[in-house]
Amino acid sequence: MENVNIFELFGQYFAAFKDNFSTQIASPAWDNPYYIIPAICLLTFILELALPKKQKYSVTSRKGFWLDLFYVIFIDYLLLLFGFFALASTVEYLFRGGLEAIGIASPVLFDLKSTPFIVQFFVVFLLMDFMQWFGHFLLHRVDFLWNFHKIHHAQEELGFASTRHFHWMEYIVFKPLLFLPFLFLNFSAAEFIVIYLWIGWFFTFFSHCNVKVNARWFNYIFISPETHYWHHAKAGPMRYGVNFASTLTIWDHIFGFFYYPKDEKEPELGVEDQEKMPRTFIGQFVLPFVEAFRFGQRKKRQQPMTRAERRRQEKKKMK
Ligand SMILES: [Zn+2]
Ligand SMILES: [Zn+2]
């Protein structure tokens, strides 16, 4: 890897991205990510209109609806325009450089390109979905990361747009994890990305929908609002949460985090210190940094309490 100026490199990536962005925006198509997002929003919006679960509010009068919609625009468009794509590409370049420096010029472990597309598709899909699961698990398990992920969990009423209500720092966790399968398997099929985006994005938007579904056996393979709502429970059955899936629930089965009670009423949603959560975008942008970097102060863990812990706390209060 020749000597490069990181700022220049970032500038080049940014210029290339800007050109690409303007051509893409000007050409609507089913395989254009900038149009897949509004298409999925529309689809899930219609689902919520047609099959509402909680009827005390309408699709748009739900708590936080407009803020969530802004998050969709911020995460899927503005963040990229502010240079996030260029930043991710620069980090990727440096990562490759690091691998070269330690003598791994081409880290391909298995040349997936020599297998039929259908095999490539399933292998990469499973690996990406697992990486997504693992990244989400880390966001819950590591205190530092939970400060950022808490923004997603501080929502008290969910709808399709709640999906994108998260802190952009989460991408820093997911980007390298999702990039690894491609690097190690020598795989970069554009048609794969498009199908992956349609499926992956549909399931994440769908899992937050306020829709009445009775998914039964489907829940044992794919995520649905029935299982994801339990992921958002204020007090769940396990310390660090349950149901971390984003598309396939098989990882939760394998690692013992699957929770799908059929006879329990839906949980209260949110986080323990709900009242302290800012309601504005700027507040939610800043708070995790303040909390995560508050060095020297041991603060008490704020991840969701288990129900047993909550019962103990209530008993204590009664005494
Ligand atoms: Zn979560
Ligand atoms: Zn969620």
190: Cβ contacts below 8 Å, ≥ 6 apart? none
Q: Which ligand is nearest to the CA of 240?
A: 1
Angstrom distances, CA of residue 159 to CA of 209, 272, 277, 313: 4, 21, 19, 31
For residue 1, being part of any structural domain is answered with no
Is the confidence at residue 306, as pLDDT, over 80?
no
For residue 299, being part of any structural domain is answered with yes
183 Cα to the center of ligand 1, angstroms: 27
5 Cα to the center of ligand 1, angstroms: 37
For residue 43, being part of any structural domain is answered with yes
26 Cα to the center of ligand 2, angstroms: 31
Q: Which ligand is nearest to the CA of 160?
A: 2
With vertex at residue 69, the alpha carbon angle to CA 68 and CA 72, rounded to the nearest 5 degrees, is 90
278: Cβ contacts below 8 Å, ≥ 6 apart? 284, 286, 287
Cα–Cα distance measured from residue 225 to residue 304, given in angstroms and rounded to the nearest whole number: 19
Please name the residue that has the structure tokens 């991205």: 17
Report pLDDT for 264: 81
Is the confidence at residue 150, as pLDDT, over 50?
yes
Strongest mean pLDDT among 263-267, 269-273, 279-283 = 279-283
How many residues make up the chain in this entry?
319
Task: State the residue range of the domain holding 41.
Answer: 6-318
115 Cα to the center of ligand 2, angstroms: 35
**pTM for this structure?**
0.87
pLDDT tens per residue across span 50-96 = 988 877 778 888 889 999 999 999 999 998 888 877 887 787 788 77
For residue 259, being part of any structural domain is answered with yes
Angstrom distances, CA of residue 164 to CA of 65, 70, 270: 11, 9, 16
Q: In a 3-state reduction of DSSP, which class is residue 38? A: helix
140 Cα to the center of ligand 1, angstroms: 6
242 Cα to the center of ligand 1, angstroms: 9
pLDDT tens per residue across span 254-265 = 999 999 998 888
Q: Which ligand is nearest to the CA of 206?
A: 2
Alpha helices in the chain, H assignment, sequence order: 6-25, 33-50, 65-73, 79-81, 84-101, 117-141, 143-153, 170-185, 190-207, 225-231, 250-255, 281-292, 307-318
193 Cα to the center of ligand 1, angstroms: 24
Cα–Cα distance measured from residue 31 to residue 301, given in angstroms and rounded to the nearest whole number: 43
How many structural domains comprise the chain? 1
Residue 142: CA count within 13 A, CB half-sphere: 12
Q: Which ligand is nearest to the CA of 246?
A: 2
Please name the residue that has the structure tokens 């020297």: 296
167-188 as b/e: b if 16+ CB within 10 A: bbbbbebbbbbbbebbbebebe
